[in-house]
């Protein structure tokens, strides 16, 4: 060998999953928590980040729907003008 360190290839199967093929032979997705419980992901209407609905710290209800946010800043932006983002 030439003395350079070789690493395993990295695979990406979903929007939030990036790991070595050595770590898991199975693909993951935004609705899988790795266990028996399904995780539901929601898209933050301000920045587009995917947020785990079950563990979301920032939420707002508008038009009878619960909206999920990644941060207090995104929630505040939404609440200043919810009709602009609630589509």
pLDDT in tens, 29-86: 444 445 556 789 999 999 999 999 999 999 999 999 999 999 999 999 999 999 999 9
- Alpha carbon distance 39, 53 (integer Å): 8
Which helix or strand (DSSP H or E) is residue 10 part of? strand 10-14
Residues 51/43/60/31 CA torsion (nearest 10 deg)? -50
pTM across the whole model: 0.58
Q: Which long-range contacts (CB under 8 A, 24 or more apart) does 10-19 make?
A: 15/50, 16/41, 16/50
Q: Which H helix or E strand runs over 79?
A: helix 72-80
């Amino acid at each position: 060998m030439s003395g350079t360190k070789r690493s395993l290839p990295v695979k990406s199967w979903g929007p939030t999953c990036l790991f070595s093929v050595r770590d898991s032979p199975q693909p993951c997705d935004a609705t899988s928590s790795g266990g028996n419980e399904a995780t539901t992901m929601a898209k933050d209407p301000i920045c587009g980040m995917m947020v785990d609905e079950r563990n979301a710290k920032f939420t707002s209800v508008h038009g009878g729907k619960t909206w999920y946010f990644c941060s207090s800043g995104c929630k505040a932006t939404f609440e200043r003008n919810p009709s602009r983002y609630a589509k």
